[in-house]
C-alpha cells in the first residue's frame, strides 16, 4: 500500500507528520507501511521503557484482559490496589489516584493543591511554575506550562500560575504571596530540551517551601519510573516532595498515569475527583508488570551505565563535528547542535532509518527504550555521525 492510499484526511491535522504509517514494532525497532525498519530513539515520546510490544506488556494485557477490564472506578479492583501499594512502598508518598494521561494527572495535582489551600491556607491557590516548563495540553496544564508558543493560545488561560526561572531561587521567593499554595516543577525540563533542575536548587526549594508552608509538586511524567537511572527523578537531590505526577513510562506504552501524594496532602473528599477509566485493571496490570521489571535487581544500574555510554558517544560526536553541550541523566539526553539544523538532522536520520526528536531547532533529544543494547547504541551513534556530516555540509554550502 502506498502512503497516498491511507485516509490521512480523516484525522485532525494537529502536527506535521512524516509521510509514513507505522505498522509494527519490536524492542528498539519500528517498521513502516513499506517494510522499512527504523531504530527508534523517540519510543512513543519517552514512553516505551522496554521498547515496542515487549513481552512484559503483551503478557500483562493478555492475562488481565481475559480476567477483568473495567468494573467501574466506583469499585475496587486488585491490580490498581497492588500498583498503588507498590508506588507508595517505593516512594516518599502514601496515596495514589490513577489517571489516563499525564495532563490529567497534573490537573489532579492542581485540584489537590487548591483543595489543600482551601482547607489549610485560607484559600491560597497560586502554584508557582517555571519558564519553559511543560505540563501537558489541557487548558490548566497549558496555563501552568511556560512554553512561549502557548502564550497566545486559547485565551483566557486558567489563572494562578505565576512563572519563576529554573535554578533561580530568588525568582521563586519573589513570587510568593499569601495567595501561593505551592511550587511545581519538572526535575528535568524534558520538552524544553533536557534542562536539569540542579540538586542544590531542588534542596533549596524544598527548604524554602517547607519554611513558607507551601507544597512542593514534582511533575515526573518524563523523569519517573527509571528514566534517569533512579526510580524517581527527585531521588537524585535526596528530597521528599509533597506531590508527584507520573505518566509516560508508568504504562510502558499504554495510557496510564498517576497523581501521588503524601498523607498530609491527600485531602480529596467524595465527589472532588474521578473519571470513567481511572484505575481500570487492564492498564494497572501493565503498570504492575512495568514496575516489577524496572525494579528487577540491577536494572536501574544498567540504565545508568547505558546512559553514560550514550552520553560519552554523543560527546565524541560533538567534539568531532564541533557541536555543543551534551546533557541529561540516565537515558534522557540532549545534544546541542549550536546551529538550527536539528529539523534537517531529524529528516536525514529518518531517511537513513533512525528516529530522533528535535525539541528545539538547534537541539536533539534522545529518549530510547531503557533496555537499549550497547549494539543499538553503537548503531545509533554510527548513523548519527553520517547524518551530522551531511547536515553540516549542507549548512556550510548555504553560506
Ligand atoms: C508528556 C508530559 C506531560 C503530558 O503528559 P500527557 O500524557 O501527554 O498528557 C506533562 N508533563 C511532562 C513533564 C511531560 O513530559
Per DSSP, the residues of 73-114 read TTS--HHHHHHHHHHHHTSS--EEEEESSHHHHHHHHHHHHH
Report the pLDDT averaged over residues 290-297.
98
Measured from the CA of 222, which atom of ligand 1 is nearest? 15
Band of residue 1 on the pLDDT scale cut at 50, 70, 90: confident
- Residue-wise pLDDT for 304-333, tens only, equals 999 999 999 999 999 999 999 999 999 999
Structurally, at CATH architecture level, domain 55-294 sits in: 3-Layer(aba) Sandwich (3.40)
Q: Where exactly does CATH 3.90.1150.10 map onto the chain?
A: 3-54+298-397
For a ligand 1 pocket test, name from 127, 189, 191, 334 the mutation site with the most ligand atoms within 8 angstroms of its C-beta.
191
- Residue 67 makes CB contacts below 8 A (sequence gap 6+) with 281
Q: Which fold has domain 3-54+298-397?
A: 3.90.1150
Long-range CB contacts (within 8 A, 24+) of 31-38 = 33/1, 33/3, 33/6, 36/353, 37/353, 38/350, 38/353, 38/354, 38/355
CA of 152 to the centre of ligand 1 (A): 20
> Given ligand 1 and candidates 43, 44, 103, which is best to mutate, with the most ligand atoms within 8 Å of its CB?
103
User: For residue 286, what are the contacts with CB-CB under 8 A and spacing of at least 6?
Assistant: 57, 60, 61, 64, 251, 252, 253, 254, 256
Q: For residue 101, which atom of ligand 1 is closest to its CA?
A: 7
Domain with CATH 3.40.640.10 in the chain: 55-294
- Ligand 1 centre to CA of 197 (Å) is 17
CA pair distance 363, 14, nearest whole angstrom: 22
156 prior amide bond cis, ω within 30: yes
Is 253 near ligand 1, meaning CB less than 6 Å away? no
Residue with cell string 505565576: 162
Mean of all residue pLDDT scores within the chain: 97
Q: Is the CB of 288 within 6 Å of ligand 1?
A: no
Over residues 64-103, the pLDDT tens digits come to 999 999 999 999 999 999 999 999 999 999 999 999 999 9
Nearest atom in ligand 1 to 106's CA: 10
pTM of the model: 0.98
The residue nearest atom 11 of ligand 1, judged by CA position, is 135
Contact of 256 with 225, CB cutoff 8 Å: no
Amino acid at each position: 500500500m502506498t502512503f497516498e492510499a491511507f485516509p490521512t484526511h480523516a484525522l485532525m491535522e494537529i502536527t506535521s507528520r512524516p509521510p509514513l504509517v507505522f505498522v509494527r514494532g519490536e524492542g528498539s525497532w519500528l517498521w513502516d507501511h513499506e517494510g522499512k525498519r527504523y531504530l527508534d530513539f523517540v519510543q512513543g515520546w519517552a514512553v516505551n521503557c522496554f521498547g515496542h510490544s515487549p513481552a512484559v506488556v503483551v503478557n500483562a494485557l493478555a492475562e488481565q484482559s481475559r480476567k477483568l477490564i473495567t468494573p467501574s472506578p466506583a469499585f475496587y479492583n486488585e491490580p490498581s490496589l497492588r500498583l498503588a501499594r507498590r508506588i507508595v512502598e517505593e516512594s516518599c508518598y502514601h496515596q495514589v489516584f490513577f489517571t489516563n494521561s499525564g495532563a490529567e494527572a497534573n490537573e489532579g495535582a492542581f485540584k489537590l493543591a487548591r483543595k489543600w489551600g482551601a482547607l489549610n491556607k485560607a484559600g491560597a491557590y497560586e502554584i508557582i511554575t517555571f519558564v519553559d516548563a511543560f505540563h501537558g495540553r489541557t487548558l490548566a496544564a497549558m496555563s501552568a506550562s511556560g512554553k512561549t508558543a502557548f502564550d497566545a493560545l486559547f485565551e483566557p488561560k486558567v489563572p494562578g500560575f505565576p512563572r519563576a526561572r529554573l535554578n533561580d531561587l530568588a525568582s521563586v521567593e519573589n513570587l510568593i504571596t499569601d495567595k501561593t499554595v505551592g511550587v511545581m516543577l519538572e526535575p528535568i525540563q524534558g520538552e524544553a530540551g533536557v534542562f536539569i533542575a540542579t540538586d542544590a536548587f531542588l534542596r533549596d526549594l524544598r527548604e524554602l517551601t517547607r519554611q513558607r508552608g507551601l507544597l512542593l509538586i514534582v511533575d515526573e511524567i518524563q523523569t519517573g519510573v527509571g528514566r534517569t537511572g533512579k526510580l524517581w527523578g527527585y531521588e537524585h537531590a535526596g528530597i521528599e516532595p509533597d506531590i508527584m505526577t507520573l505518566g509516560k513510562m508508568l504504562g510502558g506504552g499504554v495510557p496510564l498515569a498517576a497523581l501521588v501524594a503524601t498523607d498530609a496532602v491527600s485531602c480529596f473528599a467524595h465527589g472532588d475527583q474521578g473519571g470513567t477509566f481511572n484505575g481500570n485493571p487492564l492498564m494497572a496490570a501493565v503498570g504492575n508488570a512495568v514496575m516489577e521489571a524496572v525494579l528487577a535487581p540491577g536494572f536501574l544500574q544498567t540504565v545508568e551505565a547505558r546512559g553514560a555510554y550514550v552520553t560519552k558517544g554523543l560527546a565524541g560526536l560533538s567534539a568531532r563535528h564541533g557541536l555543543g553541550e551534551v546533557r541529561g541523566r540516565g537515558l534522557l539526553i540532549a545534544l546541542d547542535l549550536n546551529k538550527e539544523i536539528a529539523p534537517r538532522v531529524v529528516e536525514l536520520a529518518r531517511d537513513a532509518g533512525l528516529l530522533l526528536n528535535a525539541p528545539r531547532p538547534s537541539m536533539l533529544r534522545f529518549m530510547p527504550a531503557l533496555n537499549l543494547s550497547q549494539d543499538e547504541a553503537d548503531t545509533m551513534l554510527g548513523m548519527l555521525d553520517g547524518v551530522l556530516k551531511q547536515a553540516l555540509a549542507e549548512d556550510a554550502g548555504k553560506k
